Amino acid sequence: MKIVDTRGQSCPAPLIATKKAIKETGMEEAFQVLIGSQNALNNISRFLKDNKAGFSVTESEGFWTMTVSKKGR
Amino acid sequence: MKIDLLGMVESGGCSAKIPPRQLEEILKHIPLPVDPDILVDIDTHDDAGVYRVNDELALVLTTDFFPPVCSDPYEFGQIAAANSISDVYAMGGTPVIALNIMMFPSGKLPMEAYADILVGGYDKASEAGTRIIGGHTIEDFPPKYGLAVVGYVHPGKIITNAGARPGDLLILTKPLGTGLILAGQRMGMASEADIEESKYFMKLLNKTGAEVMRKFGIKGATDVTGFGLAGHALKMARAGNVSLSLNMGRVPLIGEAYRLVDEGCIPGVSFTNLDFVEDESGFSEDLDYNLKMIAMDAQTSGGLLMSVPGEKAGVVISELHKAGLTRAAVIGKVTEKREKYIYLEN
């Protein structure tokens, strides 16, 4: 699975990277985004909800792993 | 040494303003002073306070300051001053005197940057016919600059957020996109041309727009700044107890602002602004998401959003164009209060 690491990037770079991955995969396959800040997590989550993309989030070791797919598995 | 102010701003534009929802919650608990001579206060979320001195004269008071929005200190001074003075214009007033407000890290920046910021502010204030007669500086990092401005207005000719009436058309005098182009600049995505155009509009005084408003007796207006077009439209709608419909497809944009948003260049504050407006907003089913987020883009020294009686809109637009505000456009209309305060469509 494609992994986009946005940790350490300042806003809005994590969202830009996520959107790029959406375009590249065409949402045909799931991908993961590693997110290092609460703000970036909030903004990307909001963006995906607004654009009706599915996602799930797990938190570990001080960062978040977001799995993005059509159905959000 | 080439000074790069933008390089000093660590947190980006995202955190420069307190989220509006939190601000409203706090202000609710602070009692408003009661005085018949206070003609405009925070109650209508207006751009400036207005205090009546006598039947012919009222004072318009406003202040604003922020961290750098460009690299060059002189340009930063110009932009910060234009932005501070704009609130007086938005109330229909004439700016008269001002004080500098400066926060500056003297250990981290050469003092010539300090001087350049002040000269930029002085030059822009002079262009507005405003005299800077003092100020105050404290040590702080990153630098921040702005003005506290006093203007004159006739008590019967104040232009407020509350002046929009059903049947009015909405005119915006400057294109949108300064917030997201600044973010795009940080990301290395914005073109030189877009950055220059953005700075041009941030430096542009709202003086001309204000003169046209006065000439045509416009009653309702605001300037579009940190809460974005949607946020300021919401404040107008609430204050006038009307609804505002915005045709986002007609909104003028700076350069390639649309492409930047389409690539995901959406500053965090746009989501804060969306959070602020969405409960009281109707978004059409087919609304282009990029245009929706452009409506949330925080503007620095943005244009005037005027509510103009329908029959005057054509002539007001041509006056604005003639006066050099060639991007001014009709972007929506005012209706009786509907279910929501603002409606966004393509």
Query: Structurally, how many domains does chain B consist of?
Result: 2
- Point out the domain boundary residue: B157, B181, B206: B157
Nearest CB neighbour to A16, from listed B11, B264, B271: B264
**Same domain as B207, residue B335:** yes
A19 contacts in B (CB within 8 Å)? Answer: 263-264
Q: Residue A39 burial by CB count (10 A; 0-12/13-18/19+): exposed, middle or buried?
A: buried
> Does B333 map to a domain?
yes
Write the CB contacts of B2 (distance below 8 Å, at least 6 apart in sequence): none
Residues of A at the B interface (Cβ-Cβ below 8 Å)?
A: 10-13, 15-20, 39, 42-43, 46-47, 50-51
Beta-ladder partners of B147: B64, B100
Distance CA B279, CA B342 (A): 10
| Nearest CA distance, B195 vs chain A (angstrom) | 17
B183 touches chain A (CB under 8 A): yes
| Three-class DSSP category at B92 | coil
- Which residue of A11, A33, A46, A48 is the best one to mutate when testing the B interface, meaning the one whose CB has the most B CBs within 10 A? A11
| Nearest CA distance, B260 vs chain A (angstrom) | 9
List, for residues B71-86, the tens digit of each pLDDT value.
999 999 999 999 999 9
Q: Is B14 a catalytic residue?
A: yes
> Does B163 map to a domain?
no
List, for residues B126-149, the tens digit of each pLDDT value.
999 999 999 999 999 999 999 999
**Same domain as B97, residue B185:** no
* pTM beyond 0.90, yes or no: yes
pLDDT, chain B, mean:
94
The ipTM, to two decimals, is 0.93
Using the beta-carbon criterion (under 8 Å), do A12 and B268 form an inter-chain contact? yes
With cut-offs at 50, 70 and 90, classify the pLDDT of residue B1: low
**Spelled out in words, what is the top-level CATH class assigned to the domain A2-69?**
alpha beta
Query: What's the whole-number mean pLDDT along residues B242-267?
Result: 97
Query: Of the candidates B275, B283, B213, B280, which has an alpha carbon nearest to the alpha carbon of residue B47?
Result: B213
Distance CA B67, CA B76 (A): 9
8 Å CB contact between B60 and B152: yes
- The label of the residue with tokens 């002040």 reads B118
> Does B69 map to a domain?
yes
Q: Which chain A residue lies closest to B273 (C-alpha atoms)? A: A43
What tokens appear for B308 in the block?
A: 């103009």
Distance CA B294, CA B238 (A): 21
Structural domain spans, chain A: 2-69
- The boundaries of the domain holding residue B324 are 168-345
How many interchain CB pairs under 8 A, A with B? 45
Distance CA B130, CA B7 (A): 31
B186 contacts in A (CB within 8 Å)? Answer: 10
**Same domain as B25, residue B149:** yes
Using the beta-carbon criterion (under 8 Å), do B265 and A12 form an inter-chain contact? yes
**Same domain as B253, residue B231:** yes
